[in-house]
Amino acid sequence: MSKIRILPDALASQVAAGEVVERPAALVRELVENSLDAGARHVEVHAQRGGCAMIRIVDDGSGMDREDAMLCLERHATSKIRTKEDLGAITTFGFRGEALPSIASVSRFRLATRERDSLVGTEVEVNGGKLVAVRDHGGAPGTVIEARSLFFNVPARRKFLRTEPTEFAHVEQQLRLHAIANPHVAFTLTHNGELVLHLPATRDMLERIRGLAGEELASRLLKVEEQTIHGITISGYIGGPGMSRSNRQMQTTYLNGRPIESSSISYGLREGYHTALMKGQYPITFLFIQMDPHAFDVNVHPAKKEVRFHDGNAVREAISRAISRTLENANKLPTGHAPAKPALVLRPSPETTPAARQEQFSMPVERASAPLRQAAPQQPSIQPVPHVPAPAPQVEKTSAEPPAPPIQSSEKTARPAEKTEAPDFRIIGVLQKLYVLMESAEGLVLMDQHAAHERVNFEKIRRALESGGVPCQRLLMPITLQTTPRDADLLRQNLAALGRLGIEIDSFGPNTFKVEAVPAFLKTDDPAAWLDDVIEELRSLSAKSSSLRLSEDAIATTACRASVKSNDALSIPELQALLKDLFTCEMPYCCPHGRPTLVQISTAELERKFGRRAPG
Ligand code: ADP
Ligand code: MG
């Protein structure tokens, strides 16, 4: 006897429902998409008990006539595509004709709908896939869809539902995704009868983001000016350097209005943020991508969350360029009233012991205390205030560079593009040999000296790399390195990259290496200790990656970090030079690891702290 059977329709729908509607948030996704496809201007979402007890969506879209109201519950019934060709260029959210029958098969389902110019509408009731009633409906034009007791007839799936708060959090997140992409549509969300979100329609995308993410975050976003690269149009808002999250929740990207995830897009974002993003952190983005619907396939994921691009590289590159341009154009100093208030956490660097700290406070009297006295309140505008001049138009060399004979002549070093003018900061003093306190027109600015140094060195290296290699200084006495076999492998895999970075290193036996030269930017009396630091960092980097061969950028950031580890207290002119160098950088506001280099506490913020101004 044959074993294969065609499944009855109701069962087939339940099977399909397993893929399409995995939780209440998925209902919200499908139903809101339908409302948007129907041209709704107002969409209400009501949830009870996380959406498990009930989800109701009310819209003022086109509505359906009786025939369609019955048909839409059949599997593969859709008004959105007709031919195979349509499937190649989908412009609506829906196209499979699967959602409504799937939802109706796993819930107590009610659909009430009326077309704008029909006198009477239709109400259909379905119970776990079985049609229970069809009657006239006298409600407002548009569509109401209600799904109660989700999975009441599929206990195996009900078990996978999480707690009400968790399910509701997903519902809310789902609605937020749609709300951001459709500011012209008003949205309302209630939970157990209480209003959770109320978003009036607006023409201004930023206004909508403000309504969802709050004034504070919205005010710190950078606008991505609409630009078309490789035929891909990109626009939206993104977080600036140093603004990030430890999860992807705020990394929202849309393709032709559909919220999607895609590895090409994620790579593009990461590449675009480059060193403006701390490792393990995710950017904050509200990014809109528009492209020819023939150039990708949305029909690859049951929840239509992922797409397949025909040319993923073009997408990656377009995004990366749009992001890096936006970041480079941004000229905003991180302010002290960021939610995490990093400005006020003046921690000593971890390597400073209490004893060492005491020393720092008492020792560099000639350096730090003189300018500190200048800032004393009774003498507000005293004498030689060290102002930092704007950088000369071409900055080729800085005083910090040792006069060692470079391999490459430094003339070859590419000149940085037109950069931000160095602001007129007055240096007040240095806290804990690390934080440089400065006065600006807006208030207090703190510079993390190490982070700034890392950024400066990193960009010097990168510019040098782009023009052939990093200048190096030959050591009088070559250094011999004895390594473990694993470190030896690591070094051998990266010899070429290290060479380009100015570290002239050669294999000299199975686990032995000879170092003849180190980068010219390095200012140290103990290059061997520096090399140890570099190797240690490379080792921990490689432990996290699957291959021993590391990217040139990774090695460069490593070399920079090690180069500033043992920085001494700097004199005021040295600090001025550093600040000036920092502002010739492409990305002055964060170090290559994404930490801020400068933080500002505005006068207004200080006034609030001292009770001179009402908290705003
Ligand atoms: P799809 O969206 O893939 O077409 P659905 O099962 O989600 O499949 O919906 C089936 C059809 O029902 C849609 O093609 C549309 O014609 C109609 N429909 C669903 N929801 C609405 C709505 N809120 N307003 C008007 N028509 C709707
Ligand atoms: Mg649909």
Q: What is the DSSP string of 41-90?
A: SEEEEEEEGGGTSEEEEEE-S----HHHHHHTTSTT--SS--SHHHHTS-
pLDDT band at 75 (very low <50, low <70, confident <90, very high): confident
Identify the nearest ligand to the CA of 145 by its number. Answer: 1
Ranking 171-180, 263-272, 462-471 by mean pLDDT, the lowest is 462-471
85 C-alpha to ligand 1 centroid (Å): 20
Identify the nearest ligand to the CA of 63 by its number. Answer: 1
Retrieve residue 538's tokens: 């490379």
- Structure-model confidence comparison of residues 217 and 135, the more confident one: 135
pLDDT band at 11 (very low <50, low <70, confident <90, very high): confident
- Structure-model confidence comparison of residues 488 and 333, the more confident one: 488
Residue 30 falls within a domain, yes or no? yes
For the ranges 336-350, 553-567, 596-610, the maximum mean pLDDT occurs at: 596-610
197 C-alpha to ligand 1 centroid (Å): 25
pLDDT band at 387 (very low <50, low <70, confident <90, very high): very low
What is the per-residue pLDDT for 438? Answer: 95
58 C-alpha to ligand 2 centroid (Å): 15
Whether 35 and 147 map to the same domain: the answer is yes
- Looking at the CA of residue 142, tell me the nearest atom of ligand 1: 24
218 with 76: CB under 8 angstroms? no
pLDDT band at 616 (very low <50, low <70, confident <90, very high): low
| pLDDT average, residue stretch 254-275 | 91
- Looking at the CA of residue 33, tell me the nearest atom of ligand 1: 2
pLDDT band at 300 (very low <50, low <70, confident <90, very high): confident
Ligand 1, atom 7, lies closest to the CA of 99
32 C-alpha to ligand 2 centroid (Å): 8
- Looking at the CA of residue 62, tell me the nearest atom of ligand 1: 25
Residue 4 falls within a domain, yes or no? no
pLDDT band at 420 (very low <50, low <70, confident <90, very high): low
Whether 229 and 95 map to the same domain: the answer is no
Ranking 177-191, 491-505, 542-556 by mean pLDDT, the lowest is 542-556
CATH number reported for the structural domain that contains residue 229 in this entry? 3.30.230.10
Q: For the chain, give the percent of residues with pLDDT over 90.
A: 44
Mutation choice for ligand 1 from 29, 31, 32, 37, CB with most ligand atoms inside 8 A? 37
Whether 268 and 318 map to the same domain: the answer is yes
| pLDDT average, residue stretch 408-412 | 33
CA count, 13 A, side-chain hemisphere, 480 = 6
CATH number reported for the structural domain that contains residue 110 in this entry? 3.30.565.10
Q: Which of 560, 579, 601 is the last residue of a domain?
A: 560
What is the per-residue pLDDT for 118? Answer: 92
For residue 437, the one-letter residue type is: L
What is the per-residue pLDDT for 329? Answer: 82
Retrieve residue 478's tokens: 């070559």
Is residue 527 scored above 80 in pLDDT? Answer: yes
176-204 confidence digits (pLDDT tens): 999 999 999 999 999 999 999 999 999 99
103 C-alpha to ligand 2 centroid (Å): 11
Could you count the other beta carbons within 10 Å of the beta carbon of residue 453?
A: 26
In terms of phi and psi (left: phi > 0; alpha: psi -120 to 50; beta: otherwise), the region of 433 is: left
What is the per-residue pLDDT for 388? Answer: 41
Residue 339 falls within a domain, yes or no? no
- Name, in order, each residue with C-beta under 8 angstroms of 71's C-beta and a sequence gap of 6 or more: 77
Looking up tokens 């430890």 gives: 246
Whether 535 and 387 map to the same domain: the answer is no
Question: Residue 568: which of 519, 599, 523, 520 has the closest Cα?
Answer: 523
Q: Which domain holds residue 143?
A: 9-199
Whether 136 and 65 map to the same domain: the answer is yes
Q: For the chain, give the percent of residues with pLDDT over 70.
A: 82
- Looking at the CA of residue 143, tell me the nearest atom of ligand 1: 23
Domain count, the chain: 4
| pLDDT average, residue stretch 10-21 | 72
Whether 185 and 316 map to the same domain: the answer is no
97 C-alpha to ligand 1 centroid (Å): 7
Whether 537 and 570 map to the same domain: the answer is no
- Structure-model confidence comparison of residues 288 and 537, the more confident one: 288
Q: Which of 282, 303, 329 is the last residue of a domain?
A: 329
| pLDDT average, residue stretch 249-263 | 92
What is the per-residue pLDDT for 1? Answer: 66
Ranking 184-198, 251-265, 389-403, 574-588 by mean pLDDT, the lowest is 389-403
Ligand 1, atom 23, lies closest to the CA of 35
- Looking at the CA of residue 98, tell me the nearest atom of ligand 1: 6
Retrieve residue 224's tokens: 């991505």
Please calculate the CA angle 430-433-434 and round it to the nearest 5 degrees: 85
What is the per-residue pLDDT for 463? Answer: 83
Is residue 73 scored above 60 in pLDDT? Answer: yes
| pLDDT average, residue stretch 86-90 | 75
Whether 302 and 349 map to the same domain: the answer is no
289 C-alpha to ligand 1 centroid (Å): 25
For the chain, state the CA radius of gyration. 30
569-582 confidence digits (pLDDT tens): 788 898 999 999 99
What is the per-residue pLDDT for 353? Answer: 33
| pLDDT average, residue stretch 556-580 | 79
Looking up tokens 């240095």 gives: 430
| pLDDT average, residue stretch 412-425 | 53
CATH number reported for the structural domain that contains residue 547 in this entry? 3.30.1370.100
Ranking 124-133, 214-223, 491-500, 536-545 by mean pLDDT, the lowest is 536-545
Whether 413 and 460 map to the same domain: the answer is yes
27 C-alpha to ligand 2 centroid (Å): 10
155 C-alpha to ligand 2 centroid (Å): 25
- Structure-model confidence comparison of residues 338 and 171, the more confident one: 171
304 C-alpha to ligand 2 centroid (Å): 11
Q: Residue 261 gets which letter from DSSP?
A: B
- How many H-runs (helices) and E-runs (strands) does the chain carry? 20, 24
Identify the nearest ligand to the CA of 105 by its number. Answer: 1
Ranking 335-344, 459-468, 485-494 by mean pLDDT, the lowest is 335-344
605 with 442: CB under 8 angstroms? no
| pLDDT average, residue stretch 2-13 | 74
Mutation choice for ligand 1 from 57, 72, 118, CB with most ligand atoms inside 8 A? 72
591 with 470: CB under 8 angstroms? no
CATH number reported for the structural domain that contains residue 350 in this entry? 3.30.1540.20
- Name, in order, each residue with C-beta under 8 angstroms of 596's C-beta and a sequence gap of 6 or more: 241, 242, 334, 342, 448, 451, 589, 590
Ligand 1, atom 8, lies closest to the CA of 97
Residues near ligand 1 (Cβ within 6 A): 30, 34-35, 38, 59, 61-64, 72, 77-80, 94-100, 143
Whether 68 and 175 map to the same domain: the answer is yes
Whether 307 and 219 map to the same domain: the answer is yes
Ligand 1, atom 19, lies closest to the CA of 34
Residue 615 falls within a domain, yes or no? no
Retrieve residue 432's tokens: 């804990």
What is the per-residue pLDDT for 359? Answer: 27
Residue 334 falls within a domain, yes or no? no
Ligand 1, atom 12, lies closest to the CA of 72
Whether 46 and 139 map to the same domain: the answer is yes
For 147, the 3-state DSSP assignment is strand
Q: Which residues pair with 174 in a beta bridge?
A: none
**Mean pLDDT over each residue of the chain, to the nearest integer:** 80
Residue 248 falls within a domain, yes or no? yes
Residue 304 falls within a domain, yes or no? yes
| pLDDT average, residue stretch 60-89 | 85
- Structure-model confidence comparison of residues 348 and 112, the more confident one: 112
Residue 487 falls within a domain, yes or no? yes
pLDDT band at 390 (very low <50, low <70, confident <90, very high): very low
pLDDT band at 334 (very low <50, low <70, confident <90, very high): low
- DSSP, residue by residue, 321-362: HHHHHHHHH---PPBTTSTT-GGG--PPPTT--HHHHHHHHH
Q: Which of 329, 359, 386 is the last residue of a domain?
A: 329
Question: Residue 276: which of 458, 434, 461 has the closest Cα?
Answer: 458
- Looking at the CA of residue 92, tell me the nearest atom of ligand 1: 2
